[in-house]
Amino acid sequence: MTTGAPDRCLVMGVLNVTPDSFSDGGRYLDLDAALAHAHEMWERGADIIDVGGESTRPGSARVDAETEIGRVLPVVRALAADGLRLSVDTTRAAVAEAALDAGARIINDVSGGLADPDMAKVAAAGQVPWVLMHWRGHSKDMNALATYTDVVSEVRDELRARVDAALAAGVPPEKIILDPGLGFAKRGEHDWALLNRLDVFLGMGFPVLVGASRKRFLGSLLAVDGVPRPPDGREDATAAVSAIAAVKGAWGVRVHNVGSSLDAVAVAAAWRSGHA
Protein backbone atom coordinates (compact mmCIF):
# COMPACT_ATOMS: atom_id res chain seq x y z
CA MET A 1 0.00 0.00 0.00
CA THR A 2 1.57 3.27 -1.13
CA THR A 3 0.06 5.15 1.82
CA GLY A 4 1.60 2.91 4.44
CA ALA A 5 4.45 3.45 6.85
CA PRO A 6 7.04 0.72 7.45
CA ASP A 7 7.28 1.00 11.21
CA ARG A 8 3.89 1.89 12.71
CA CYS A 9 0.20 2.56 12.29
CA LEU A 10 -0.47 5.91 10.61
CA VAL A 11 -2.09 8.79 12.47
CA MET A 12 -4.59 10.87 10.51
CA GLY A 13 -5.35 14.24 12.08
CA VAL A 14 -8.91 15.55 11.83
CA LEU A 15 -9.36 19.08 10.47
CA ASN A 16 -13.05 20.02 10.46
CA VAL A 17 -13.68 23.30 8.65
CA THR A 18 -17.33 23.25 9.69
CA PRO A 19 -19.53 25.17 12.13
CA ASP A 20 -21.28 22.09 13.53
CA SER A 21 -19.00 19.07 13.90
CA PHE A 22 -19.72 17.22 17.14
CA SER A 23 -16.58 18.06 19.14
CA ASP A 24 -14.88 21.01 17.45
CA GLY A 25 -17.52 22.65 15.28
CA GLY A 26 -16.67 26.26 14.45
CA ARG A 27 -13.20 26.09 15.98
CA TYR A 28 -11.40 25.92 12.62
CA LEU A 29 -13.92 27.44 10.23
CA ASP A 30 -11.68 30.51 9.91
CA LEU A 31 -8.95 29.90 7.31
CA ASP A 32 -6.07 31.11 9.46
CA ALA A 33 -7.21 29.01 12.41
CA ALA A 34 -7.56 25.94 10.18
CA LEU A 35 -4.10 26.35 8.70
CA ALA A 36 -2.51 26.91 12.10
CA HIS A 37 -4.15 23.79 13.54
CA ALA A 38 -3.14 21.67 10.54
CA HIS A 39 0.47 22.79 10.86
CA GLU A 40 0.40 22.12 14.59
CA MET A 41 -0.75 18.54 13.97
CA TRP A 42 1.75 18.07 11.14
CA GLU A 43 4.68 19.37 13.17
CA ARG A 44 3.68 17.10 16.03
CA GLY A 45 4.06 14.17 13.63
CA ALA A 46 0.68 13.49 11.98
CA ASP A 47 1.07 11.43 8.82
CA ILE A 48 -2.04 12.77 7.08
CA ILE A 49 -4.33 15.77 7.63
CA ASP A 50 -7.95 14.92 6.85
CA VAL A 51 -9.84 18.02 5.70
CA GLY A 52 -13.64 17.98 5.84
CA GLY A 53 -16.17 20.68 5.04
CA GLU A 54 -19.44 18.97 5.98
CA SER A 55 -20.36 17.63 9.40
CA THR A 56 -21.34 13.96 9.58
CA ARG A 57 -22.35 13.93 13.24
CA PRO A 58 -25.64 12.09 13.89
CA GLY A 59 -28.62 14.26 13.00
CA SER A 60 -26.67 16.93 11.12
CA ALA A 61 -28.14 18.57 8.03
CA ARG A 62 -26.34 18.58 4.71
CA VAL A 63 -24.75 21.61 3.09
CA ASP A 64 -24.67 22.17 -0.66
CA ALA A 65 -21.64 21.24 -2.74
CA GLU A 66 -20.66 24.86 -3.36
CA THR A 67 -20.51 25.57 0.39
CA GLU A 68 -18.48 22.44 1.01
CA ILE A 69 -16.03 23.28 -1.78
CA GLY A 70 -15.76 26.85 -0.51
CA ARG A 71 -14.74 25.59 2.92
CA VAL A 72 -12.35 22.89 1.81
CA LEU A 73 -10.48 24.21 -1.23
CA PRO A 74 -8.66 27.21 0.28
CA VAL A 75 -7.43 24.99 3.11
CA VAL A 76 -6.30 22.15 0.84
CA ARG A 77 -4.63 24.51 -1.61
CA ALA A 78 -2.65 26.30 1.09
CA LEU A 79 -1.63 23.17 2.99
CA ALA A 80 -0.65 21.27 -0.16
CA ALA A 81 1.55 24.19 -1.18
CA ASP A 82 3.29 23.82 2.18
CA GLY A 83 3.95 20.13 1.53
CA LEU A 84 1.45 18.54 3.91
CA ARG A 85 -0.03 15.18 3.01
CA LEU A 86 -3.79 15.58 2.78
CA SER A 87 -6.96 13.57 2.51
CA VAL A 88 -10.35 15.04 1.76
CA ASP A 89 -13.27 13.90 3.91
CA THR A 90 -16.26 14.07 1.57
CA THR A 91 -19.06 12.00 0.08
CA ARG A 92 -19.31 14.16 -3.05
CA ALA A 93 -17.40 13.40 -6.23
CA ALA A 94 -17.25 17.07 -7.23
CA VAL A 95 -15.67 18.00 -3.90
CA ALA A 96 -13.20 15.12 -4.07
CA GLU A 97 -12.20 16.00 -7.63
CA ALA A 98 -11.68 19.67 -6.77
CA ALA A 99 -9.65 18.75 -3.68
CA LEU A 100 -7.44 16.35 -5.65
CA ASP A 101 -6.82 19.07 -8.21
CA ALA A 102 -5.85 21.37 -5.33
CA GLY A 103 -3.36 18.88 -3.89
CA ALA A 104 -5.16 16.29 -1.75
CA ARG A 105 -3.88 12.76 -2.22
CA ILE A 106 -6.46 10.53 -0.50
CA ILE A 107 -10.27 10.39 -0.64
CA ASN A 108 -11.90 9.59 2.72
CA ASP A 109 -15.52 8.80 1.83
CA VAL A 110 -17.72 7.98 4.82
CA SER A 111 -20.39 6.68 2.44
CA GLY A 112 -18.10 4.15 0.78
CA GLY A 113 -19.23 5.43 -2.61
CA LEU A 114 -22.94 5.06 -1.92
CA ALA A 115 -23.78 8.75 -1.60
CA ASP A 116 -22.45 9.72 -5.03
CA PRO A 117 -22.17 7.17 -7.85
CA ASP A 118 -19.54 9.33 -9.55
CA MET A 119 -17.07 9.00 -6.67
CA ALA A 120 -15.71 5.71 -7.99
CA LYS A 121 -14.91 7.38 -11.31
CA VAL A 122 -13.01 10.15 -9.55
CA ALA A 123 -11.04 7.66 -7.43
CA ALA A 124 -10.24 5.49 -10.45
CA ALA A 125 -9.21 8.44 -12.60
CA GLY A 126 -7.08 9.95 -9.86
CA GLN A 127 -5.41 6.64 -8.96
CA VAL A 128 -5.45 7.72 -5.33
CA PRO A 129 -6.18 5.76 -2.15
CA TRP A 130 -9.90 5.66 -1.38
CA VAL A 131 -11.20 4.99 2.13
CA LEU A 132 -14.45 3.04 1.90
CA MET A 133 -16.33 3.38 5.17
CA HIS A 134 -19.34 1.29 6.15
CA TRP A 135 -22.41 3.49 5.77
CA ARG A 136 -26.16 3.06 5.58
CA GLY A 137 -27.45 6.59 5.13
CA HIS A 138 -26.91 10.27 5.73
CA SER A 139 -26.47 11.68 9.21
CA LYS A 140 -30.07 12.73 9.74
CA ASP A 141 -31.19 9.12 9.20
CA MET A 142 -28.31 7.05 10.57
CA ASN A 143 -29.65 6.37 14.06
CA ALA A 144 -32.79 4.74 12.65
CA LEU A 145 -30.62 2.48 10.48
CA ALA A 146 -28.67 0.95 13.40
CA THR A 147 -30.41 -2.43 13.25
CA TYR A 148 -28.40 -5.65 12.94
CA THR A 149 -28.78 -9.34 13.60
CA ASP A 150 -25.02 -9.93 13.47
CA VAL A 151 -23.27 -6.57 13.20
CA VAL A 152 -19.81 -7.96 12.41
CA SER A 153 -20.87 -10.19 9.53
CA GLU A 154 -23.32 -7.63 8.15
CA VAL A 155 -20.78 -4.81 8.18
CA ARG A 156 -18.20 -7.11 6.61
CA ASP A 157 -20.58 -8.16 3.84
CA GLU A 158 -21.72 -4.62 3.14
CA LEU A 159 -18.11 -3.45 2.96
CA ARG A 160 -17.31 -6.32 0.61
CA ALA A 161 -20.07 -5.09 -1.70
CA ARG A 162 -18.47 -1.62 -1.71
CA VAL A 163 -15.09 -3.15 -2.52
CA ASP A 164 -16.61 -5.10 -5.41
CA ALA A 165 -18.22 -1.94 -6.78
CA ALA A 166 -14.94 -0.02 -6.51
CA LEU A 167 -13.01 -2.75 -8.29
CA ALA A 168 -15.63 -2.93 -11.02
CA ALA A 169 -15.24 0.83 -11.56
CA GLY A 170 -11.51 0.43 -12.13
CA VAL A 171 -10.13 1.33 -8.72
CA PRO A 172 -6.93 -0.73 -8.20
CA PRO A 173 -7.15 -3.07 -5.21
CA GLU A 174 -3.98 -1.59 -3.72
CA LYS A 175 -5.73 1.79 -3.48
CA ILE A 176 -8.61 0.56 -1.31
CA ILE A 177 -8.73 1.17 2.46
CA LEU A 178 -11.60 -0.06 4.64
CA ASP A 179 -13.22 1.61 7.66
CA PRO A 180 -15.88 -0.24 9.72
CA GLY A 181 -17.64 3.07 10.42
CA LEU A 182 -17.78 3.27 14.20
CA GLY A 183 -20.73 5.42 15.26
CA PHE A 184 -22.30 5.56 11.80
CA ALA A 185 -25.63 3.74 11.96
CA LYS A 186 -24.17 1.98 15.02
CA ARG A 187 -25.07 1.98 18.69
CA GLY A 188 -22.44 1.57 21.37
CA GLU A 189 -22.81 -2.19 21.54
CA HIS A 190 -22.24 -2.37 17.78
CA ASP A 191 -19.07 -0.27 18.00
CA TRP A 192 -17.59 -2.49 20.71
CA ALA A 193 -18.50 -5.66 18.80
CA LEU A 194 -16.74 -4.32 15.70
CA LEU A 195 -13.61 -3.41 17.64
CA ASN A 196 -13.64 -6.78 19.37
CA ARG A 197 -13.60 -8.47 15.94
CA LEU A 198 -11.29 -6.07 14.14
CA ASP A 199 -9.49 -9.18 12.88
CA VAL A 200 -12.47 -9.90 10.61
CA PHE A 201 -11.91 -6.63 8.74
CA LEU A 202 -8.13 -6.96 8.72
CA GLY A 203 -8.68 -10.41 7.22
CA MET A 204 -10.47 -8.96 4.19
CA GLY A 205 -7.10 -8.22 2.62
CA PHE A 206 -7.14 -4.42 2.65
CA PRO A 207 -5.66 -1.80 4.99
CA VAL A 208 -8.08 -0.78 7.77
CA LEU A 209 -8.64 2.70 9.17
CA VAL A 210 -10.17 3.01 12.66
CA GLY A 211 -12.06 6.19 13.56
CA ALA A 212 -13.01 6.10 17.24
CA SER A 213 -11.89 9.57 18.27
CA ARG A 214 -14.13 11.20 20.92
CA LYS A 215 -17.16 9.19 19.77
CA ARG A 216 -20.33 8.60 21.76
CA PHE A 217 -19.58 5.01 22.69
CA LEU A 218 -16.47 6.20 24.54
CA GLY A 219 -18.44 8.91 26.31
CA SER A 220 -21.00 6.34 27.40
CA LEU A 221 -18.30 3.98 28.65
CA LEU A 222 -16.86 6.76 30.81
CA ALA A 223 -20.22 8.08 32.05
CA VAL A 224 -20.63 9.16 35.65
CA ASP A 225 -24.10 8.77 37.18
CA GLY A 226 -25.50 8.16 33.72
CA VAL A 227 -24.03 11.34 32.23
CA PRO A 228 -21.66 10.64 29.31
CA ARG A 229 -18.24 12.20 29.53
CA PRO A 230 -18.03 15.17 27.12
CA PRO A 231 -15.99 14.84 23.89
CA ASP A 232 -12.93 16.70 25.17
CA GLY A 233 -12.69 14.26 28.08
CA ARG A 234 -12.43 11.19 25.86
CA GLU A 235 -8.81 11.63 24.72
CA ASP A 236 -7.27 8.98 26.97
CA ALA A 237 -9.87 6.46 25.85
CA THR A 238 -9.26 7.43 22.22
CA ALA A 239 -5.52 6.86 22.65
CA ALA A 240 -6.24 3.46 24.22
CA VAL A 241 -8.25 2.47 21.15
CA SER A 242 -5.43 3.75 18.92
CA ALA A 243 -2.89 1.61 20.75
CA ILE A 244 -4.98 -1.54 20.59
CA ALA A 245 -5.93 -0.99 16.94
CA ALA A 246 -2.26 -0.51 16.09
CA VAL A 247 -1.23 -3.68 17.95
CA LYS A 248 -3.93 -5.57 16.05
CA GLY A 249 -2.52 -4.34 12.72
CA ALA A 250 -4.66 -1.37 11.69
CA TRP A 251 -3.23 0.71 8.84
CA GLY A 252 -4.28 3.97 10.48
CA VAL A 253 -6.29 5.77 13.13
CA ARG A 254 -8.24 8.96 12.57
CA VAL A 255 -8.06 11.25 15.60
CA HIS A 256 -8.56 14.81 16.82
CA ASN A 257 -5.59 14.83 19.21
CA VAL A 258 -2.65 13.50 17.23
CA GLY A 259 -0.13 13.77 20.08
CA SER A 260 -1.66 11.18 22.37
CA SER A 261 -2.32 8.75 19.52
CA LEU A 262 1.19 9.17 18.11
CA ASP A 263 2.51 8.12 21.52
CA ALA A 264 0.03 5.25 21.57
CA VAL A 265 1.00 3.87 18.16
CA ALA A 266 4.70 4.23 18.99
CA VAL A 267 4.15 2.01 22.03
CA ALA A 268 2.17 -0.41 19.88
CA ALA A 269 4.95 -0.60 17.29
CA ALA A 270 7.53 -1.39 19.95
CA TRP A 271 5.19 -3.94 21.51
CA ARG A 272 4.63 -5.71 18.19
CA SER A 273 8.30 -5.73 17.21
CA GLY A 274 9.72 -6.44 20.65
CA HIS A 275 12.12 -3.52 20.47
CA ALA A 276 12.08 0.29 20.39
Residue positions annotated with a catalytic role? 215, 254
Question: How far apart, in whole angstroms, are the C-alpha atoms of residue 127 and residue 4?
Answer: 16
Instruction: Pick the closest to residue 273 from 26, 7, 49, 3 (CA basis).
Output: 7
State the virtual CA torsion across 45, 50, 55, 56 in degrees, nearest 10. -100
**Sheet containing 130-133, strands listed edge to edge, beginning at the edge strand earlier in sequence:** 176-179, 130-133, 106-109, 86-89, 48-52, 10-16, 252-255, 209-210
Sign of the Cα torsion 234, 22, 48, 79 reads negative
